[in-house]
Each structure stands twice: as structure tokens, then as C-alpha cells.
Amino acid sequence: MRLLAALVAFFVTGPAWAGCPLDLGRGAGLVIFSDHYMIAFRPDPLRIEVGEPFALVFNVCTKSGTAGELVAVDAQMPEHKHAMNYHPSIVAKGDGRFRAEGLVFHMAGHWEISIDVRAGEEIERLTHDFYIK
């Protein structure tokens, strides 16, 4: 049902997102939506390995199609109630493009990435689940 709602929202508001670039250099990757933002992202390298550092490449856009700002990225394992042992750094590339470097999933299992974005004063958190073997 959530997927259907997201698809309907995308097609109804499609023209509003027209100015938001989804190309991340190797395809669109993953895309998550909220009422105010659309975030396209992908890991670099594309395959995340346990204990190996990786980056996330982002395009952050507002519903009006303007660039947003990536404020913070973190990850936690909800079942284990702990976060990563490392704190990623964020590199701005301009026009809503960012790279979060230094992420490491130090064990296999369910990870939840939290992505804090803003366009103005208010920060919004979006999340995405990863399952690492």
C-alpha cells in the first residue's frame, strides 16, 4: 500500500520534481521521498561489504525542484540498538549533490541509514533500510 501511495504521489507531483537531477554517475540508485524532499543516492562502491569503508553519493532536492542540503548521515542497527563505530564526513559537490564518506557497517544484519536534509531552517530526517550479509 505504501508503494502504491508513493507511486501515485510521484506521478501526481511529477512536474514539481522536474528540476531535480537523478543521475548519480552510474544510474539513479535508490530514491526516497517525503512530503518535502526527494533524495537519490547510491553506495560507492556499489557492493557494500562488512567491515569495509564505503561512501554514499546523494542528490538532494526539494519538492519545488530546488537543491536541498545534506546535513548529516548516520546508520544504526535497530535490533542491536547501536550505531556505526565511525562518523562519516560530508563533502558538498554543489547543486544538491553530496558525498558522505567513511561509512562502515562493522557487522552483518539490518542497518537503518538516517539522512538529515534541509532547505532553510527546518531539518527533516529520512531513513532507508539496508540488509548486509
CATH number of 53's domain: 2.60.40.10
- CA 110/CA 76 separation, integer angstroms: 9
The whole-number pLDDT of residue 58 equals 95
pLDDT in tens, the chain (133 residues): 444 444 434 444 444 445 666 667 666 689 999 999 999 999 999 899 999 999 999 999 998 888 999 999 999 999 988 888 888 999 999 989 999 999 999 999 999 999 999 998 999 999 999 999 9
The whole-number pLDDT of residue 83 equals 87
The three cell numbers of residue 129 are 533500510
Termini Cα distance of the chain: 28
Range(s) of the domain holding residue 103: 2-132
pTM for the predicted model, two decimal places? 0.81
Counting other chains too, the contacts that 38-44 makes at CB distance below 8 Å and 24 or more residues apart are 38/62, 38/63, 39/68, 39/115, 39/117, 39/126, 41/115, 41/128, 44/99
- CA 93/CA 88 separation, integer angstroms: 16
Give the containing element (helix H, strand E) for 19: none
The whole-number pLDDT of residue 77 equals 96
Number of structural domains (the chain) is 1
**In the block, residue with C-alpha cell 559537490:** 93
